[in-house]
A and B are shown apart, each in its own frame.
Chain A
């Protein structure tokens, strides 16, 4: 499956400024692992110490949030995953 991963500016910096990367996988988790293998800096940024998605990140598939299945949502050819930041200040 060819899936596009859209990166926020913080992550884009870690892949030389690219905002979209094509990866393979049938779930969001597989796609992220594929991305992390190519760009280890991404893994360091988006995972916590226990390997979970870091708390301030969120995963969106075709603009719809994947919570609570952020790493297990099925994806198909042509889908777009976005690694987003949720800003809940106040």
Chain B
């Protein structure tokens, strides 16, 4: 089919072999690429109940039909596996300069099976798969690892993904990184890579997919650029990146503060784009084929971190700034840098640090750590990555740690994945989002907060919320099947997605047919989760969000409101609730 190679590469690490699989058009017609193809492959290549960190699990890298085509927002790849953090469906996406060389290898997806006995890095091209020994870089941080692999492969425009010490040590929220600061961050995909003893993968090649209507695609490309020039949202991304959310969320009272006790941080003004610019040189940084330039390429100009280079986003600022009360954005950058070097998800890591501070206040956990204690938090991050002392407990994730410490009702997670930075007691649709997301408490499956903040539907309004949520979720699912950057969501409404798919693949799909395709993909991820034993409790928020009022606004998410949204959601999806036991 146009827009695809109709080929998947399977690599067996145990046998050090590889083979190609042809994929029929019918698969793409039903699931498209990216998330759709990745989920189809995940179900077909794993058995129920496998240990995610065993050789039985697979690690899948996928691109979409938009990848390497003339499409804005298309420089992303997806990773799919069984999560070691949740035991359920795992997906994570990253931008940067990997997607195009990955597509250049000539495959729609690459499925890595088995495990190596010794550390390796893979070189996957349009001609061969090479297994390079990696003992000389095992233990190195992500930046150095990427540099070494790029140097050793020695090919121009190579894309390299790597893990850090956290992935090697099977920390269950380890991530996969590329271009230093870009992360396939959530659900522990880096730990799966570590369990296979893969330190990195280099992709390169010159294969190009055929496009159904290249002239029309070019016209769409120009049209989108012109629309982007007139769009205020694009300007805001370019000016402030996602840090624009810091004032918004504090004014709404939904900025998670002091490990989910409050919704406004009295020092939030120290965590804004203005604050960053006062202490640093900041440059807007874009992935290929992007005019949003959400990246904040930052060099700290003063203080104890002078010279530190990093890129920062809202979620990391919330996770360390808000949850741990770090009131200096350069200190958040510093903690971000530690996580990136070690190869850990900043969102889960920040949540875990806040959780540990609370646990330390409530009982003797063998660790005294206070809110705002940057150096204590930095030390804790290192202990997590190396599984030292209390870090060994935290490295297993919040579900495990909260059970061990008897704080299960207090931990902010769903399915074992820590909350993203939107308090569901204020933005009630986010409660539905966290509960029902296939990968755990994720904000990105539907980004319903946009509808609530922009006024499309009031945050407290329950009636009709599930309907809007499903519409958002379906469109976002197609973004992930195409692998388009989320930040282009306002520029690709339903009709533009239809045009985009038509010009690339030749498929003619109206909104109803697109929704059906999105539902097929969503049903497939649910099939995986149910197969892996998802229970009703895995689609429920922690009790405290129904009962404990936010200290500043007094808001809760009434359980009856949550139940109404959830039952509406199940009805629209045509699903039953998962089994109790």
Contacts and interface: CB of A to CB of B under 8 A. Distances in A.
Nearest to A60: B232
Centre residue among B237, B273, B314, B455 by max chain A CB count within 10 A: B455
A76 to B, nearest CB: 21
Interface stretch (A23-31, A32-40, A63-71): A63-71
A85 B237 CA distance: 13
Contacts of B237: 88
A65 B231 contact: yes
Given A10-B252, A65-B231, A67-B232, A89 B239 contact: no
Contact of A90 (B231, B236, B249, B447): B447
Contact of B487 (A9, A10, A68, A90): A90
B454 A86 contact: yes
A82 B456 CA distance: 13
Interface string A5-23: 0001110000000000000
Interface in B228-253: 230-233, 235-237, 239-240, 242, 244-245, 247-249, 251-252
B450 interface: yes
Count class of interface residues, chain A: 10 to 19
Centre residue among A56, A68, A70 by max chain B CB count within 10 A: A56
A90 B486 contact: yes
Given A87-B454, A88-B237, A89-B443, A55 B244 contact: yes
A87 B272 CA distance: 15
B449 interface: yes
A65 B421 CA distance: 27
A88 B247 contact: no
Centre residue among B233, B422, B444, B487 by max chain A CB count within 10 A: B233
A50 to B, nearest CB: 11
B487 A88 contact: yes
A55 B443 contact: no
A74 interface: no
A87 B230 contact: no
B248 A87 contact: yes
B242 A85 contact: no
Contacts of B233: 58, 86, 88
A82 to B, nearest CB: 8
A68 B486 CA distance: 23
B232 A65 contact: yes
Where chain A touches its partner, the secondary structure class is loop
B454 A85 contact: yes
Nearest to B248: A56
Nearest to A67: B232
A86 B235 CA distance: 11
A85 B453 contact: yes
Contacts of A89: 242, 245, 249, 314-315, 421-422, 443, 447, 449-450
B458 interface: yes
Interface residues of B, number: 36
Given A68-B230, A84-B455, A55 B449 contact: no
A24 B34 CA distance: 52
A63 B294 CA distance: 26
A70 B305 CA distance: 38
Nearest to A7: B455
A28 to B, nearest CB: 13
Interface in B199-249: 230-233, 235-237, 239-240, 242, 244-245, 247-249
B488 to A, nearest CB: 11
Contacts of B314: 89-90
A90 B244 contact: no
B450 A87 contact: yes
Nearest to B313: A90
Contacts of B249: 89
A67 B236 CA distance: 11
Centre residue among B240, B251, B486 by max chain A CB count within 10 A: B251
A58 B248 CA distance: 12
Nearest to B273: A55
Interface in B439-495: 443-444, 447, 449-450, 453-455, 458-459, 486-487
A87 B233 CA distance: 8
Contact of A87 (B240, B273, B294, B449): B449
A58 B459 CA distance: 19
B508 to A, nearest CB: 30
Contacts of B315: 89-90
Given A67-B230, A85-B248, A90-B487, A55 B454 contact: no
Nearest to B443: A89
Contacts of B248: 56, 85, 87
Centre residue among B236, B313, B449, B458 by max chain A CB count within 10 A: B236
B78 to A, nearest CB: 15
B465 to A, nearest CB: 16
Contacts of B232: 58, 65, 67-68, 70, 86
B244 to A, nearest CB: 5
Centre residue among A55, A70, A87, A88 by max chain B CB count within 10 A: A88
Given A67-B235, A87-B454, 16 more contacts: A65-B230, A67-B230, A68-B232, A70-B232, A85-B454, A86-B244, A87-B245, A87-B449, A87-B453, A88-B242, A89-B314, A89-B421, A89-B422, A89-B450, A90-B313, A90-B314
Interface of B: 230-233, 235-237, 239-240, 242, 244-245, 247-249, 251-252, 273, 294, 313-315, 421-422, 443-444, 447, 449-450, 453-455, 458-459, 486-487
Closest 7 CB pairs of A and B: A67-B232, A87-B453, A89-B245, A58-B232, A87-B450, A56-B248, A90-B486
11 contacts: A56-B248, A67-B231, A84-B454, A86-B232, A87-B245, A88-B244, A88-B245, A89-B314, A89-B443, A90-B443, A90-B487
